[in-house]
Structures are given as C-alpha cells and as structure tokens.
Amino acid sequence: MAAAMTHTPPSLLNEPAEERLLLAHGDGGILTHQLIQGLFQKYFRAPELMALTDAAVLSGAPDLALTTDSFVVNPLFFPGGDIGKLAIAGTVNDLAVSGAQAKYLTAAFILEEGLEISLLEKVVASMASTARTAGVSIVTGDTKVVERGKGDGIYINTTGLGLVRKKELGYHRIQPGDKIILNGGIGEHGLAVLIERNQFRFSESIQSDCMPLNALITPLLDQFGTDIKFMRDPTRGGLATTAKEIALSGSCDLWLEETAIPVRDEVRGATEFLGLDPLYLANEGKVLTIAAPERAAEIVRFMHQLPEGKDAAIIGEVRIGQGQVFLQTPLGGTRILDMLAGAPLPRIC
C-alpha cells in the first residue's frame, strides 16, 4: 500500500501500458482507470458508461439507475462484516450516492468446488439480513461452480436497480467554494481486512465500517435538495483516489484539510505502526458529499443525528483548478494527492 506522491500526467490515463494484468489493475487506482478508459470504453461506447459514475442513470419514466459490482474480498469474514454484507451494502451505496433508492438486487455466485456449504449459508444469511436492513429485495440469481484452485471460496456479483429520486447530482454541478463533507472516520474497512488477512494483533480491534448508507443519504437528499451537488462513496483507492477522480471529472481542484479528516484513534495508531496511509485505505460505509457552502454546517448537524453520520465533518473545499487534490498539513505544508498507484492491497472488496 503506497500513496502516489506525484501528479499523474493525463496521458497515463489513456491506454494500458502493460501487456499482462497486474493485481494493481484491480485496486481502483491509476491502472484500473487505464483499463477502463483505454480498453472497456474503447469498445463499450454507451453514453451512460462514458459518464463513469457509480451507477448508470437510464432516462425514462421513471428514471432508473443501474450499478454492478463483483466482490472478491479475502478473507470472507472480517471484523465488522463479511463478503455477503459487503455485497449488499456496496451496491446499495453505489445507487444511493447516485441519488437513487435501491429497489431490486440480483445475486450471482461463483463458488469453488469443496466449499463448505455451512459457510456459504452464513454468507447468504448475512446478505439476507443486510438486504432487509437496507430495504431491498433480491429478485434473481445465478450459481456457477469452478474447480478447486480456480476460485477462492466465494465470489459474489450484485447488480442493483434503483429509482432515481434526485436527478440534480453530478460532476457538472460542482462549483468553486462548495464544501466537502465526510460522514465519519476513514480507512476502517481496508485496515480491518488487512489485519484479519495477516492475523496481526493490535490491542484495540479495528472494525470495518461496512454498512448500507441509504438511511443517511435518503433523508439528506430529501432535506437539502439541490444544495447537495455531488456524492460518492470512497471505496477502493480510499478518500484520496476518490477526491482525485472528482477533481479530474469536475474540472476543479479539491483542497482537503488534514486535521479536519476524521480518523479514529485506533486506525491512526495501526496505520502509523504498519506504515500505511489511511487516505488510501478503502471505506465501505462512507460518503463524500459536495454541498453549497451556506448549507454545509447545517448538513453536518443533520448527519450528526443519524448513526451513519455521527462523526461527520467538513473536510475541505472546492477551488478553481484543473483536477488537482491538495492536502493542507497541520504544519502549514501542502501535499499533492494523486490516485492510488504502486504497491496494491488487493481484494479489499
């Protein structure tokens, strides 16, 4: 896990330079973007796909949003969640940040020969319970089995269909002066998975923040309407990578204030010990909100009333620019943040 410290020339985003796939092509950082823009978008040319948002918004009556995610997290169970909970929450959240209410989910399993069926049952029960919490129905599914050594226990794809409730979210609505709000501490999911995978021992247990966010996002959008300009969940690649994506697609600069970014003490301790940067660690229960400056404080107070937003804070603002992210450090310095690049932490979701 390394944070890129230098700015990536835009040309790097244009075509895959590698001949063979690296693990880092799946980390949500620069190589993932190269693969999407250099290969998938070269062939799949639907305008909905070109928008590169978390969900495709399909214009019609009613407007629908469609999103897909495969989950390959390793290990399957970790403090605070499991692959089943993650598979529901992740897809519900991708719809929620797109202004859509998740209604229907599909669930497709790729299972490895020899898997204990009792373990599969635990995962399925967790999916059902998380779906109930989030108020979504799993309406269709698929099961494939691959030979031993050709999978890793359980891979799950969930695809979500939602009704678009707010159409006013989008990169085009971000303006200089807008405030950047985060609903709580960063790095918890990535760290919890990493610790579980490596069986590190820390005095305090680190729990993944994995949870559906629609109970926070729906009332927020109802309450603040067009004063909320844009939302995104900073998952793979962490807060820094998501901020960079927003800056590039929104044609602006994002200025983040390091001391304002919520980081739980135990996360700070463990990341310092392990030499990791929480800005690049995955979150699965966080939403980055860009809002009109005059309502930002009120939005934070509103979030504080809900369990999913109790540690919400304004962490920065949008300025005129060309796609840079700047982190203002406590000592008065400025660090340029780029997308995740280099040593990856694979299979975090």
For residue 13, state whether it binds a copy of itself (rule: CB under 8 A): no
Query: Which of positions 289-348 make contact with a copy of itself (CB under 8 A)?
Result: 346-347
Which is nearer to a copy of itself, 2 or 163 (by Cβ)?
163
Query: Which of positions 34-53 make contact with a copy of itself (CB under 8 A)?
Result: 35-36, 39-40, 42-46, 48-49
> Amino acid identity, residue 194?
L
For residue 208, state whether it binds a copy of itself (rule: CB under 8 A): no
Euclidean distance between CA atoms 182 and 333, whole angstroms: 22
Q: Phi first, then psi: what are they for 140, rounded to 5°? A: -160, 160
Task: Residue 285: count other Cβ atoms within 10 Å of its Cβ.
Answer: 23
Query: Which of positions 131-150 make contact with a copy of itself (CB under 8 A)?
Result: 131, 137-147, 149-150
For residue 108, state whether it binds a copy of itself (rule: CB under 8 A): yes
Which is nearer to a copy of itself, 140 or 205 (by Cβ)?
140
For residue 197, state whether it binds a copy of itself (rule: CB under 8 A): no
For residue 204, state whether it binds a copy of itself (rule: CB under 8 A): no
Euclidean distance between CA atoms 317 and 328, whole angstroms: 11
Euclidean distance between CA atoms 123 and 40, whole angstroms: 31
Euclidean distance between CA atoms 301 and 309, whole angstroms: 9
Site string for a copy of itself, 161-190 (x = CB under 8 A): x-----------------------------
- Which residue in 201, 300, 310 sits closest to 264, CA to CA? 310
CB-based contacts of 348: which residues, under 8 Å, 6+ apart? 73, 189, 190, 193, 194, 236, 282
Which is nearer to a copy of itself, 150 or 268 (by Cβ)?
150
Shortest Å, Cβ 74 to a copy of itself: 8
Contact with a copy of itself (CB under 8 A): which of 118, 199, 203, 259?
Answer: 118
